[in-house]
Each structure stands twice: as structure tokens, then as C-alpha cells.
Amino acid sequence: DGLQKDFGEDRVIDTPLAESGIVGTAVGLAMRGYRPVCEIQFDGFVYPAYDQIVSQVAKLHFRSMGRVPMPIVIRIPFGGGIGAVEHHSESPEGYFVHTAGLKVVACSNPVDAYHMIQQAIASDDPVVFFEPKRRYHEKADLDEFAQPPPLFSSRVIRRGRDVTVLAYGPMVKTCLEAATAAAEEEKQIELIDLRSLSPLDMGPVLDSVRKTGRVVVVHEAPITLGLGSELAARIQEQCFYSLEAPVVRVCGFDTPYPPSRVEDDYLPGLDRVLDGVDRVLAY
């Protein structure tokens, strides 16, 4: 049904629930000149395919001295907030960001999802495409002919002068709500949607930090060695003398993702983001 009915069984292949086989098949197709797009049903199911992704998808282009391209897109729904059971609410982006040879992106809204997936398919590099599952039912007006920003770029989506907030994926909407709430107390948040997690587009980030001097990084993944750590390191390396306060991270906790009845306590929510903003402003 759906895509298979519209485009045929030669282009839309129904597979067993064997993630290593899904990605392994995509590798073979890429070696034959195709541009395969494979879907991992949920974030927590990607780990059986990790060997194929790290050993083959990320390395074959380098191992073959550029003779074997790997234009593969691996779609991974990620993040919590849907009241799901184990293995359905994780944020494994850190594993892939740390894997040289992969490009990693995360959309945060329907318009970006539309444009970014097409850009990822057109890319000659392997792209891990993270999709925030609790945003799947959102709708937006779309100009199909609009010129989207480059795939591997970050974007300022709200201007402000007091604090820079960095987020991606499902946390962008939470941070937009926080910016609206903070504005009622005359605190101006400049919000940047990172969009590309590897490579990181640091230009807009550094420009914003030099203006505000204060930074809060927000993501669902556990705090230790998460993307927030890398962002904090790069900011202090390149903007140390512009900082008025240490970089604050508002992230998931260093625990396995909890049962759904307590996930609201685990996920960075409005109150935790605003608390992070207050901490950097009070320093």
C-alpha cells in the first residue's frame, strides 16, 4: 500500500524487520549505482545495523579511494514524548555524529522535512536523517518552489539579544515556546535550529554568541558526551572572550529512557529550558 502502490515493487521494497539486512541491502544497491533510502522503524531498532553503518556505509567511499560512492539515506525516527514502550523513544544521534564518513541531519518542522529529505537523497554522501516522531502529525503551508537553505546549515529562527539557545529536532518547538515565555519577562532569546549535526555549521552560532555572550544548549539525548558537549567545547575554543557565563546544557539524563509514565520528567521541558536561561543570565 502507499508508496509501493504508487511507485511499484521495484522501487519500494518491503523487507523483513532485520535492520542489518535493510542497511546491508542498501549498501549493495549503492554499489550498483542506486540512491537507496532505507527506513529504520524506530530509533532503538537501529543498533543491529550499526556494524553495516560504521564498517561499510561510512567507510567504503574512503576505502575504495572514492571509486565506490555511498549515496545512502538512512531515515531514523527519534526522540520521546509519544508514550511508547522500550526501544521506541531514544536519541542515538551521538553514535553517528562520532562516526567519521557520515553526514547527520535532523529536521524540526514539516517544511524542513520536505526540503531536507530531497537534499539528502541528492547528496553523494551517506546521510543519517533523524526525524522527530512526535512532529509527524504537524502540518504547515509549503512552497514547493522555494529555495531552501543548504542541507548542512544551521539557521537563526528567532532573533534576540540576551541568550543564545541551540537546539535541533523535537526540542526546537519546546525552545520556541520557552522564548515566547521568556519574552513576557523581557528576556530575549536568540534561537538557532542546528539542522545539521555533522558537519556542524558554526558560523551562525558563533555570530550569535559574540552578540549575546550567553549560551544554552538543549537536546533530548543524555547529557554526558552528547552534542551539547561538542558545542560547548567549540564555543569556548572560538568565542571564549565573548562569553559572559559558562555554557549551560539542558539535556536528557544519563539513564536509559524511562517508562512512558515518567518520560515528562526525563525530557527537557519548558520549565527546564527557562531554568537554564535564568542560570546563564544570573551568572
Residues 188-214: pLDDT tens digits?
Answer: 999 999 999 999 999 999 999 999 999
Does a structural domain hold residue 148? no
- Say yes or no: 67 and 98 in one domain: yes
Mean pLDDT value across residues 162-182: 98
Q: Where are the alpha helices (DSSP H) in 32-126?
A: 50-52, 60-63, 93-97, 110-122
- Say yes or no: 131 and 250 in one domain: no
- 198-201 LR contacts (CB < 8 Å, sep 24+): 198/96, 198/97, 198/102, 198/103, 198/104, 199/103, 199/152, 200/154, 200/230, 200/231, 200/234, 201/152, 201/153, 201/154
Give the chain's domain count. Answer: 2
Cα distances from 80 to residues 8, 176, 221, 259, 278, in angstroms, run 33, 18, 10, 10, 25
Catalytic residues: 88
- Say yes or no: 270 and 220 in one domain: yes
pLDDT band at 1 (very low <50, low <70, confident <90, very high): low
- Say yes or no: 198 and 243 in one domain: yes
- Say yes or no: 195 and 256 in one domain: yes
Q: Domain boundary residue among 68, 103, 135?
A: 135
Does a structural domain hold residue 114? yes
Mean pLDDT value across residues 232-257: 97
Tell me the per-residue pLDDT of 224-243, one tens digit each, with 9 for 90 and over.
999 999 999 999 999 999 99
Tell me the per-residue pLDDT of 2-27, one tens digit each, with 9 for 90 and over.
888 899 988 999 888 899 999 999 99
**Domain limits for position 264:** 155-282
- Say yes or no: 122 and 160 in one domain: no
Look up the CATH number of the domain holding residue 30.
Answer: 3.40.50.970
Say yes or no to pLDDT of 109 above 90.
yes
- Say yes or no: 160 and 130 in one domain: no
Q: How far is CA 160 from the centre of its chain?
A: 23
Element of type H or E holding 221: strand 215-222
Does a structural domain hold residue 20? yes
Look up the CATH number of the domain holding residue 232.
Answer: 3.40.50.920
Q: Would you say 70 and 61 are in contact if contact means Cβ atoms under 8 Å apart? A: yes
Does a structural domain hold residue 140? no
